Structure 1
Amino acid sequence: MSKKVRLGIIGLGQQGGAYAKFITEGMVPNMVIGAICDTDPAKKELASATYPDAPFYDDYIAMLESGDVDAVVTCVPHFLHPEMGIETLKRNIHALVEKPAGVYTKQVKELNEFAASKPELSFGIMFNQRNNPLYKKLKEIVENGEIGKIRRSNWIITNWWRPQGYYNSSEWRATWGGEGGGVLVNQAPHQLDLWQWICGVPKSVYSKVAFGFRRDIAVEDEVTAVVDYGDGVTGVFVTATHDLTGTDRFEILGDQGKIVVEGSKTATVTRLKKPERELSDGMGMDDVRKLFMGELNPEEYYTTEVIEFESAWGAQHSGG
């Protein structure tokens, strides 16, 4: 049997607590809680009652040097991620840093460069949604050319509703120094990552960003972005934290098909039997009349497949 990885959890808040629960419930094979670290005395009491076998530290450096952990996950305010990531790697311990990688570009660059100097260690940012089976399947469909060349993509993801009390819960939340931004940095990075992972990195971005628009905060709570990939390919991204009945809808239009994802759970994939332009060029006015009258048989032109997985977002839509 392979040796179990001893994970050190820095920060026993909502996210750190979730990871601890996953491990103790056996949802992460070959992993145990090696140690827990938090500066809050109340979290020490919680850890003692809930995870009595896990050593507790109020100093993360002491935990790193204890010999109790093989790997670490950081569940702390964003500005601490680069520092903790580097200190972990310095001690030849594997590091998984929660998103975002940090607040300041210089610090994140230093973290990435230091991680690159330690190729024998595993280092990553928590973009766990790349393992969502639905999006893995959609990436495969796009890369296999099943919907042809991408023409346009758009994602509206506004079901990050956050009341004012959420922002008031911690001094670091919704601040430039503590969090580094708002919805783009805290809630929507998963979609931004999936978007570029599946559709590619754009050449230019135009955005309309509202700061403290519907909440009493300094950072952005509503964003509309238009991106240009070149060659006429475009994309639109809309996100906000003030839509109580928000939407999660992702569309990818290709020249030979289309993907529509609802709620990060169900995808409808339409595959054209010929490229759209070829279908267009092959239709005369008789076909146009049938089109307007609703008399064309869809099965002559495309097939439709519905793909559904249980949502893998978990707490992503309720916390973070």
Structure 2
Amino acid sequence: MSLPANGKIRVALVGCGSIGRTHTAVILEQPELELAALIDPVPAAREALLEFIAGRAKPEAYDSIAAALAADREAIDLFVLATPSGLHISGALEVLNAGKHVVIEKPLDVDLTQAQQIEAAARQAADKGVLATVISQHRFDPASQAVAQAVEQGELGRLTSAIASVSWWRSQSYYDSGDWRGTWAMDGGGALMNQGVHTVDLLLWFLGKPVQVTGHTGLLAHQDIEVEDTAAAVISFESGALAVLHATTAAYPGLSAAVQVMGSHGSARIDTDQLAYFHATAEQSEDARMGVQGDWNLADERIAGFPAEAAQVADPTVYPVGHSRQYRDVIRAITQGAPPAVTVSDAVNALACVRAVYLSATLGKTINFDDVLAGKYNDIEVRVS
């Protein structure tokens, strides 16, 4: 795929809503990117975003991906899907079949079978040098990078357990603000799917492949929605590690998202994207063997090796900085012809884990992760337990 004379990667944003604005702000901060097109079937949405970027870019406006491709197929290199989750399947397949790079906002899709269709298409496209990735911006946080490196290098010893929790609040007006919010068809789930999927991704990144999942869900603080506002699960992993997973949008007025990883030679805690605790040692001290807590928090020392300057940030109140870091990876992958750091298969596994929690809650039994990937429960319609 050739780039224009100015060397910029030409980007089409699909979906001009709130998350589309997030992507737009990030795209405009990257010198290697050019916002070439805005795509949305709702004219008012396109016009509002055009007003938001006035003076910074002059993209063409279209009502569909097909219209943009028909107008000038060579004018776009990369499509960014910021549409409702239930529309990701159609957009991703259309873009990949056209031989164009694609970035898909999380979750990959609301349906695991459809997500696996995207995965198959992405593998075929990769053979032709076409990139497909899914937004998982918290993998690029310095705290996450520090913990992932420690896990990979065995600094924490044998991983024994983890606690992953998203304790947020969403008002009833949040769910009432769009007909698609809080629905299985378009949201794909509630607190775990919509708010917690990034934390699920980090949990799997650190601990590896799940084996069994036992979960419960509830709708406890909201009404007139189909999905859960609270979920809790216990997950076992191939390594033998055990994890507790929790997600809620019923924690007024809103607390934090945190992942705590514990091992035989060290432990780490990420809270609100910051490294709150880190300690690893090659040899346990006598105090440690007796369970005596010393002043062992080396978080500041460890995080110093993962500076935030890698991200280009103009105004962190406009968009999450992790998106900017992930876009740097996308640019690297496209320009170097290399795989992205986050693959579609990574996103499939996170989605399958969420699906396993929902299946366990619906069926009232422990679910084997491999059975979910293999489609054993494809005909089961999940519900809040």
Structure 2-normalised TM-score? Answer: 0.71
The more displaced of 199-208 and 8-17 is 199-208
Structure with bigger strand share is 1
Residues 1:235 and 2:243 are matched in the alignment: yes
2:153 is aligned to 144
Please report how far the alpha carbon of residue 94 of structure 1 lies from its aligned counterpart in structure 2 after TM superposition.
Answer: 0.6
Residues 1:129 and 2:142 are matched in the alignment: no
1:31 is aligned to 33
Structure 2 Cα separation of the partners of residues 169 and 114 of structure 1 = 33
1:249 is aligned to 258
Runs of 5+ in structure 1 lacking a partner?
Answer: 281-287
Do the aligned residues in 2 keep the contact of 1:103 with 1:180 (CA within 8 Å)?
yes
Structure 1 Cα separation of the partners of residues 23 and 239 of structure 2 = 43
Pair 1:29–1:198, CA change in 2 (3 A)? farther
Do the aligned residues in 2 keep the contact of 1:37 with 1:56 (CA within 8 Å)?
yes
**Count of residue pairs brought into register by the alignment:** 297
Match of 1:63 among 57, 64, 68: 68
Residues 1:6 and 2:10 are matched in the alignment: yes
Residues 1:219 and 2:227 are matched in the alignment: yes
Residues 1:115 and 2:100 are matched in the alignment: no
Do the aligned residues in 2 keep the contact of 1:256 with 1:276 (CA within 8 Å)?
no
Structure 2 Cα separation of the partners of residues 220 and 37 of structure 1 = 31
Match of 1:91 among 87, 98, 103: 98
Amino acid at match of 2:69: L
| Structural mapping, 1:1-320, within 5 Å | 3-24=7-28, 27-49=29-51, 50-51=53-54, 53-65=58-70, 66-67=72-73, 68-119=75-126, 120-159=129-168, 161-210=169-218, 212-216=219-223, 217-229=225-237, 232-243=240-251, 244-272=253-281, 274-275=283-284, 280=289, 298=294, 303-307=296-300, 315=319
Pair 1:29–1:132, CA change in 2 (3 A)? farther
Amino acid at match of 2:297: T
Do the aligned residues in 1 keep the contact of 2:165 with 2:199 (CA within 8 Å)?
no
The structure that has the greater radius of gyration is: 1
Do the aligned residues in 1 keep the contact of 2:208 with 2:238 (CA within 8 Å)?
no
Amino acid at match of 1:60: I
Question: Which deviations, in whole Å up to 9, do the C-alpha atoms of 1:231-254 show, x marking residues without a partner?
Answer: 652111111001123233321111
Please report how far the alpha carbon of residue 269 of structure 1 lies from its aligned counterpart in structure 2 after TM superposition.
Answer: 1.1
Do the aligned residues in 2 keep the contact of 1:9 with 1:37 (CA within 8 Å)?
yes
Please report how far the alpha carbon of residue 297 of structure 1 lies from its aligned counterpart in structure 2 after TM superposition.
Answer: 9.2
Amino acid at match of 1:16: G
SS in 1 for 2:116: helix
Structure 1-normalised TM-score? Answer: 0.84
Structure 1 Cα separation of the partners of residues 34 and 109 of structure 2 = 27
Amino acid at match of 2:63: D
SS in 2 for 1:22: helix
Structure with bigger helix share is 2
SS in 2 for 1:185: helix
Pair 1:36–1:233, CA change in 2 (3 A)? same
Do the aligned residues in 1 keep the contact of 2:164 with 2:200 (CA within 8 Å)?
no
Structure 2 Cα separation of the partners of residues 32 and 297 of structure 1 = 52
Please report how far the alpha carbon of residue 41 of structure 1 lies from its aligned counterpart in structure 2 after TM superposition.
Answer: 2.0
Q: Identity of aligned pairs, percent?
A: 25
Amino acid at match of 2:243: G
Structure 2 Cα separation of the partners of residues 175 and 11 of structure 1 = 19
Amino acid at match of 2:93: I
Do the aligned residues in 1 keep the contact of 2:143 with 2:270 (CA within 8 Å)?
no
Please report how far the alpha carbon of residue 195 of structure 1 lies from its aligned counterpart in structure 2 after TM superposition.
Answer: 0.8
RMSD: 2.7
Pair 1:276–1:86, CA change in 2 (3 A)? farther
Structure 2 Cα separation of the partners of residues 234 and 277 of structure 1 = 26
